[in-house]
Amino acid sequence: MASTFDDSKSDLIQQAERRFAENFEQDSWSLRQKLALTCRALSDRGHDSGLAGQITARAEASGTYYTQRLGLGFDEITQDNLLLVDEDLNVIEGEGMANPANRFHSWIYRARPDVQCIVHTHPFHVAALSMLETPLVVSHMDTTPLYDDCAFLPSWPGVPVGNEEGEIISQALGDKKAILLAHHGQIVAGASVEEACSLAVLIERAAALQLAAMAAGTIKELPEELAREAHDWTLLPNRSAANFAYYARRALAAHPDAITR
């Protein structure tokens, strides 16, 4: 016999959170493997733009992180060809060089100890929205993990290879999970690789929805209280882990060369 029909919404949310914790444990992939699978998953979803964009994750030693080698596309990244670099982009492990635009990643990592993974890409709909100098509007349930959590940089500071751009971008990001960069692209600053991958997939969908809705009429705002509730619910770490596991399985099925077990 059913026993929960008189429970409050908050009680049901707490019950669901406990079940998430019980049923979605951390996977056994290494950090390098997660990063390689993120590159492949985002490539499959249109986040590659030639050699533009970077995906990084903090490494074990302080002041170091993993990133892809300049000259390789997201669809070519494996756990074995990732680079380990320091804050000055000196290569500690691996062959080749890091993208000089990784400099702003170093600035973000210094400013945000909570950030473990950064995804910067120029996907089609995000790039198109950025050309309008318009902030991201979150007005659909699916995109609420980004509700009031996506900053906006309204002016383009130029190619982000200098410390000036690193300072501007990290300050504009503030304490948000993501930022839309005018005339440029997007950055996601995640508490984990799983969260960063999930939000990167989501921000491109949000931009596509926004452009479609703008073409059809006036976008209506979500009720703030409900939107914040949805943000907190959909951004639970275990939900990000479940999302990532799905994206990773699809990436691995399509690109078994991405990782070696």
The tens digit of pLDDT for each residue in 27-48 reads: 689 999 999 999 999 999 999 8
Euclidean distance between CA atoms 240 and 107, whole angstroms:
25
Euclidean distance between CA atoms 57 and 42, whole angstroms:
15
**Listed residue (235, 239, 199, 246) closest to 24, CA to CA:** 239
Q: What are the tens digits of pLDDT across the range 80-120?
A: 999 999 999 999 999 999 999 999 999 999 999 999 999 99
Q: Where do the H-state alpha helices sit in the chain?
A: 9-23, 31-44, 103-111, 124-130, 163-173, 193-216, 224-234, 237-254
Euclidean distance between CA atoms 173 and 126, whole angstroms:
16
Q: Residue 1 above 70 pLDDT? A: no
Q: Which two tokens stand for residue 117?
A: 């993974």
Average pLDDT, integer, range 154-159: 90
Average pLDDT, integer, range 199-218: 98
Q: What is the pLDDT of residue 20?
A: 72
Q: What is the pTM of this model?
A: 0.93
How many CB atoms neighbour CB 92 within 10 A?
A: 11
Euclidean distance between CA atoms 237 and 152, whole angstroms:
24
Q: What is the CATH number of domain 29-251?
A: 3.40.225.10
Q: What is the pLDDT of residue 13?
A: 77
